[in-house]
Chain A
Amino acid sequence: MAVTTPPSRPSATPGALAGTARSRRPKQSFETWSWFFMRVSGLLLVFLALTHFAITHIVNDVVDTDAAFVYRRWDNPLWRTFDWVLLALALLHGLNGMRWAIDDYIRSRPARAAVKAVLYTVSGVLFTYGTFTIVAFQ
């Protein structure tokens, strides 16, 4: 197959190497797994996020999704699980995407470290807060 050499990043498309000798397969690193995670979580999120949006904006009008609506919905542990999986995957997927973008655009090392520190702190705090909201709700 006339597939050109994959891009230079270590995490680039393992799939593109499927037909070549095993010895040429790049070493698997954190970035390989980060690449793979984005594909898998992305596909799951297509279903989770679009279903969530359809329920809260298309099937129901947004003004009807008030506190009473949430009480009814979170009465069912399956919806709580659905919402928590959506929260966790969306936040991790977005966090990793932001990390890639920061690596691409912020050239100065200290600035990059500072922006990432803020990003990780805010995401960590909100993940904990969101998880607490879903678990502690009654």
Chain B
Amino acid sequence: MARTAQRPVETKVGATRLVYKGKSGQWAFVGHRVSGMLVFFFLLLHIVDVSLINADPVLYDEVHDLYGNILLRLFEVGLLFALLFHSLNGIRIVLVDFFPGMVRNERRLFAVVMALTLLVGVPCGYVILEPFIDGRIL
């Protein structure tokens, strides 16, 4: 994503404060970075929790039960949205990179990314939260 984003314009406020001139492109860039990092850190955690299955299957089940509580279910919905946005925006980047003419549709492409993220994310998020909404947990 960094490769297709506009170059940052530095302000005089401080070396680390960057202002981008783009509109949807800027937010796509920020969203891609943030969602990517969230998924990466979850992956590191996930390798550790799954690996418990060899060391101690009982402990694996105890840790795994935590994923069923409402706080972690909300976290999973966040993970779902991060995955969806990062996937769809990644496809947008690939399209723009490999088919340069696509740049002309960039804003429309970003709108499609956002629409699909919500369209898939909301019903799937509902499925994840359903046991809580039904009152089966907590």
Which A residues contact B (CB, under 8 angstroms)?
1, 3, 7-9, 11-13, 15-16, 18, 35, 39, 42-43, 45-46, 49-50, 53-54, 57-58, 61-63, 65-67, 70, 87, 90-91, 94-95, 97-98, 100-101, 104-105, 107, 122-123, 126, 129-130, 132-133, 136-137
Contact = CB atoms under 8 A, between A and B. Distances in A.
Interface of A is mostly: helix
Nearest to B98: A15
A133 B61 CA distance: 16
Nearest to A70: B53
Contact of B87 (A15, A46, A98, A137): A46
Nearest to B91: A46
B51 A53 contact: no
Interface string B38-57: 01100110011011011001
Contacts of A91: 43
Contacts, number: 124
Contacts of B101: 1, 3
A70 B50 CA distance: 9
Contact of A97 (B36, B47, B84): B36
Contacts of A101: 33, 37
A85 to B, nearest CB: 14
A66 B3 CA distance: 41
B78 interface: no
28 contacts: A7-B4, A12-B3, A15-B97, A39-B93, A39-B98, A42-B94, A43-B91, A49-B83, A49-B87, A50-B84, A53-B80, A61-B68, A62-B73, A62-B128, A63-B65, A63-B68, A67-B64, A70-B60, A90-B43, A95-B40, A97-B40, A98-B40, A126-B44, A129-B47, A132-B54, A133-B50, A133-B54, A137-B53
Interface of B is mostly: helix
B64 A65 contact: yes
B2 interface: yes
Which size class do B's interface residues fall under?
A: 35 or more
A94 B36 contact: yes
Contacts of B60: 66-67, 70
A104 B128 contact: no
Given A97-B36, A133-B54, A35 B3 contact: yes
Contacts of A13: 3-4, 97, 100
Nearest to A130: B47
Nearest to B137: A63
A136 B54 contact: yes
A98 to B, nearest CB: 6
